Amino acid sequence: MKTTRERLAELFQTVLEMDSIPEDASSTTVASWDSVRHLNLIVAAEELFGINFDTEEISELTSFRAFAEAVERHLAKAGPAGRAAP
């Protein structure tokens, strides 16, 4: 079973069209991470993990690390029942 971070990294690879995602990837270091792709990352991550980011959070999720922490926070809040099937 893949970890949350591994699944998120795969999603980033697909949406940002990259072969690998460095741990410190952010919208300032990754050229393809524009405002459109940012929206795609948000929606795809919400769908993948069955969560909903808060509106304030969305504009702050500008790095892979921030994304991963937010996903983990929401999953912990939802508890095991709230988790979407892989």
Partner 1 sequence: MSEALAGIFEELDRNPSLAAYAAAERKLRKAGLPPLRLAILANHTFEIGAVLAVECARRGFWLDLYKAGYDQYRQEMLGAASGLHPFQPDAVLVSLHLENTFPGLTTRTVTEPLPDAGEWVASFRALLTAYRETSRAAVFVQDFLPPVSDMSGLLAAAGACSVFDWVMALNEAIRRMAASIPSVFVIDAARLACESGLAGWRDARLFYLAGAGINPRVFPRLAARIARHLAALRRPPAKCLVLDLDNTLWGGILGEAGCEGILCGEGHYPANAYADFQRAVLALRSRGILLAIASKNDLAQVEKTFRRRADLPLRAEHISAWEVHWGPKPESLRRIAARLNIGLESLVFLDDNPAEIDLVKMALPQVRAYRMPARPEEFIDFLAALEDFDQLQLSAEDTRRAELYELRRKQEELAAAATDLESFYRSLKTELVPEIASGANFDRVVQLFQKTNQFNLTTRRHDRAELTRRIERGSEVWAFRAKDIHGDHGIIAAVLLDFSGAECHIDSFLMSCRVIGRTLETAILHVAEERALARGARRLTGEYVPTARNGPCRDFYSRHGFSCESQSGEGSRWAKDVASRTPCPEWITIRSEEAVLTAGSGSSSSL
The candidate with the shortest Cα–Cα distance to 62, out of 14, 16, 3, is: 16
Compare residues 47 and 69 and give the one whose CB is closer to partner 1. 47
Per-residue contact string for residues 6-25; x = within reach of partner 1 by CB under 8 A: ----xx--xx-x--------
To partner 1, the closest distance from the beta carbon of 72 in angstroms equals: 18
Stretch that binds partner 1, among 18-26, 48-56, 60-68, 69-77 (CB under 8 A): 48-56
Going by C-beta distance under 8 Å and a sequence separation of 6 or more, which residues neighbour residue 48?
7, 8, 11, 84
Compare residues 20 and 35 and give the one whose CB is closer to partner 1. 35
